[in-house]
Every structure is written in structure tokens, then in C-alpha cells.
Amino acid sequence: MFIASGDAVPCFKGFTLIMVSETVLVYQLHQDDTRCSNGCNITKSENFKGTKVRSFRKLMVSWIKSSGFLRSVLLSSSHAYHRDDQQLHGTPLRYLLTPSLQKEEAQRVEELGWREMERISAFPGISDSEQRLYIPGGGVTKALYTDCCTEDISMAVVLIFCSEGDNIPDAFALVNHLNDWLHLLEKPTQGSVQWRVPPSWRLLFGSGIPPLLF
């Protein structure tokens, strides 16, 4: 969240807010004492858990509304092993749009060939009449998306199905997918967009064996 240094209330009208949900895809983005390689960003307080999640969502939604963003985008992921039969085919990338953003961007994402996150049966094998949105491993993604729908906030969720391990290729796939829509960086005529990556990604599997041992 942006905290202004002065007394003036910042105005972000016309800007796009891009958020990253802490899921299986982005463990590198926060301090985790149980892992050998920590990311470039370190939180100054404990991660939000339990009862703090609801108050955190309420704070985020309030801040997004008061800041006047043109749109908000939440980058997230979901456990690949939880996919049902229809989700096993084709691209692992999915999207969700709140009703207010659906009016503005539905045609654009359709032209891009994006695939909307499927609703699955609430009672598989028993009844298919009741469908629900299911994002296992997505952390606060589903709840924040639901809050933004209720508050009439223009928000998109862009996510990818992935597994534990080296998720760097998944991260590039996700941000390139987003770039097709928002044009954050110009795509070169040959090759792919050169994104700047955190230095910690070079130490994903540790720093290697010291040569002085041999």
C-alpha cells in the first residue's frame, strides 16, 4: 500500500494498480525464515493470518476505492493438482473480471483469446446444478475478488495454475500474459520482453558449492 509522506491525499485517477497475491507462485516476495532463499521484498510486520485477513481485505478495498484507480489487477496462482477435467486442457492461464470491469474490458479479453476461470460443481459426482468459484492455493484472491464485486470496483484477477518448485517460468508466463493486455512494456519484433528480475532468483537453489572446498 502507498503511504504518502505529506499531508496531501494522493490521487491515482487514471492509474492501474497491480497487486501480487502471496501464493505458491510468489514465495520469493516476502521474508520466510523457514527457507534458505528470501526474496527482494521483506515485510516489516508479520504476515496477515487468521482473523487479520478480513480486516486486511477491508482496508485494501477501502484504500482502492478512495485512491480512485482506473482499474486494479491481482496477479495470483492456484494449485495445479486441484484442476478438474475441463481445466486440464489448453493454457494454464485464467482470468476473472468484476462486473464493473466486465463492461469495459470483456470484448478486449475475448479478442486476446483469454480463458475465464471456470466455475466447478459444488457437489461433484452428486449434482452439477450449483457451481462455485474455487481457487485453491490462491490465498486471499477469491475473497478479495468477491469484495471488489460487492463494492463495484473495477478489478481483474489474472492467475496461473502451477505447482511447488521453480516457478520462475510461471512468473514470466503470467507477466507476459498481462503485458498482452496492458502493454506495460513494448514487445520486440524478435524474442521476448526482457523483464528485470529480483537478484534473489539467482539463488533459488542456494549459492552453490564454494570452490575453496576443492
Q: Is the predicted pLDDT of residue 198 greater than 90, yes or no?
A: no
pTM: 0.78
Closest CA to 62 of 1, 105, 13: 1
Range of the domain at 35: 16-213
CB neighbours of residue 175 within 10 Å: 17
5 domain-assigned: no
204 domain-assigned: yes
Higher pLDDT, 91 or 47: 91
The string of pLDDT tens digits covering residues 14-32 is 899 999 986 544 433 333 4
132 domain-assigned: yes
1 domain-assigned: no
11 domain-assigned: no
2 domain-assigned: no
Q: Is the predicted pLDDT of residue 120 greater than 90, yes or no?
A: no
Query: How do strand 16-20 and strand 120-123 relate by DSSP bridges?
Result: unpaired
* Helix locations, 125-193, DSSP H: 141-150, 168-182
102 domain-assigned: yes
pLDDT range class, residue 190, cuts 50, 70, 90: confident
6 domain-assigned: no
Mean pLDDT of the chain: 82
The number of helices, as runs of H, and strands, as runs of E, in the chain is 4, 6
Domains in the chain, number: 1
Q: Is the predicted pLDDT of residue 45 greater than 60, yes or no?
A: no
Angle between helix 141-150 and 52-67 (nearest 10): 50
The string of pLDDT tens digits covering residues 47-88 is 545 567 888 899 999 999 988 899 999 999 999 999 988 889
Domain of 182: which CATH number?
Answer: 3.40.50
